[in-house]
Amino acid sequence: MATQTHPAITEEMRARIGVESEPRVSDPVDKSLIRIWAISLAWPEAPDRLYWDEEYAKKTRYGGVIAPPYFNPFAYKIDEARMDGANRGIGDGLAERAAAGRPGGNGGGEAEYFDVPIRPGDVITSRSKLTDIYVREGRTGQTLFRVTETRWTNQKGELVRVYRGTGFELLGRA
Amino acid sequence: MHHKESVYFEDVAVGQEIPSFVRKTGVMEFNRFAAANEEFVPFHMEDEPAKPFGVDRAFGMGNLRFEYVHGMLTSWIGQDGWIKRVGTQYRGYNLKDQTLTCWGKVTKKYEEDGLHLVDLEIGVNNEKGENQGPGFATVVLPARHAH
């Protein structure tokens, strides 16, 4: 049974539901980062040429190299570097979790796409908001869930991706 | 890993299983994805930091599991189709040195707003057959005869 009233859910946390974060803007997407992503996806097979071979990609309906759909253009953004290694690209609430000092992670997600792939040189703007927060009894005791919605648009204002992610924190036995 | 020839809407049947996507979840796979996504989290790298989660060794990124599901879908649909929606719940930990098999089964095909859509039930099974990533997807496919 999920509940929104629990000591672990503070007034401050509840007040953030529905409030959009400051937009984050990526650096122009680098072709090499797309290639590295494509290799990690395909490994140990060779990556699809669509993700790295311009001559090949030109002849496809995309007319050039594109990034794989789940590519994260916010990795390695120096001015926001988090030296604890937690990634902030996907919007799954990891930053808040780290602050609370509890074990937790990424509980799942849902992505919606619009046939607008990310391409080299694109500048992606991310707007994120907390949409739900609740506690549920899980296999290892009580678990706090945070649902966030993150919308990415490109430099033309086209919607690229909407991601709804569920982050979790283990609260322990009641 | 290459996009195969296009799959056309007309050639898809409800109940059909799509080609699976199988990956080992070893240190090589974790590290390559960590490097791509800047996801250098201690419990994905070493065994000790994973223990507070009740497991005995490092486990993989949920994002990597989700990325493999994307890989399965794009490998199947080819370059003329695209993923419209995909969702996966992460159940349990995908421990180091397991094998994940992403699978998908067509549940519905229909036309909406001029698009030819196919819904799928998807999952990510470990080598014991436990589904660690139940989910769904909707893909858009080209049609041989656009209406």
pLDDT digits (tens, 9 = 90+) for B60-99: 988 899 999 999 999 999 989 999 999 999 888 889 999 9
Distance from the Cα of B147 to chain A's closest Cα (Å) equals 20
Distance from the Cα of A114 to chain B's closest Cα (Å) equals 6
Q: If you write DSSP's letter for every residue of B56-122 in order, what string do you get?
A: SS-B--HHHHHHHHHHHHHHHH-TT-EEEEEEEE--S--BTT-EEEEEEEEEEEEEETTEEEEEEEE
Is the Cβ of B27 closer than 8 Å to some Cβ of chain A? no
**Residues B9-140, CATH architecture:** Roll (3.10)
Whether the ipTM is more than 0.85: the answer is yes
Task: Choose between A20 and B141: higher pLDDT.
Answer: B141
Which of 3.10.129.10, 3.40.50.300, 3.30.70.3340, 3.40.50.12590 is the CATH number of A11-26+91-172? 3.10.129.10
Which residues of B are less than 8 Å from A112 in CB distance? 84-85
Query: pTM, whole model, 2 decimals?
Result: 0.89
Contact (CB, 8 A) for B119 and B45: no
Mean pLDDT, range A65-84, rounded to an integer: 78
Q: What is the pLDDT of residues A134-156, one digit of tens each?
A: 998 877 788 888 898 999 999 99
Task: Say yes or no to pLDDT of A108 above 50.
Answer: yes
